[in-house]
């Protein structure tokens, strides 16, 4: 697989992941973050929030790059295979982490749900980009 297509897929997936993060983490049930304000470092914004947003955005691009690279190296570039890979990784990694955090930390259940759905959306965007750009 040529690197230009992998980088293009990473950029497209990263932009899509940024949009899904904005919807799921920033808009959907955002008011529920205030249910337990002591859990959040900056519940009302403030110093360091921009840096946190930039780092989280870069991590979204890293997630997409890793997904694209994994799919390209395993030849999982057809629609059904990439979607199965996305769902499998979602069930293996973010879902158990988020549920465990919910069990041990004071986080509103809808925040946990939106974060889990946001991760699924991010991975499905990456899967769609792989199937679209790497075939």
CB 45 within 8 A of CB 107: no
Q: Which residues contact 10 (CB under 8 A, 6 or more apart)?
A: 61, 64, 65, 68
pLDDT class of 38 with cuts at 50, 70, 90: confident
CA gap 89, 60 in Å, rounded:
15
50-91 pLDDT tens trace:
888 899 899 999 999 999 999 999 988 899 999 999 999 999
């Amino acid at each position: 697989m040529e690197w230009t297509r992998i980088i293009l897929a990473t950029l497209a997936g990263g932009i899509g992941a940024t949009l899904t993060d904005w919807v799921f983490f920033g808009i959907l049930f955002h008011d529920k973050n205030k249910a337990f304000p002591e859990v959040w470092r900056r519940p009302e914004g403030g110093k360091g929030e921009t840096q946190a947003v930039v780092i989280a955005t870069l991590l979204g691009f890293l997630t997409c790059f890793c997904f694209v690279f994994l799919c390209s190296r395993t030849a999982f570039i057809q629609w059904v295979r990439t979607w199965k890979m996305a769902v499998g990784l979602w069930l293996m990694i973010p879902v158990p982490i988020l549920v465990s955090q919910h069990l041990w930390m004071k986080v509103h259940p809808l925040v946990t749900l939106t974060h889990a759905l946001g991760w699924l959306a991010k991975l499905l965007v990456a899967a769609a980009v792989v199937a679209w750009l790497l075939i």
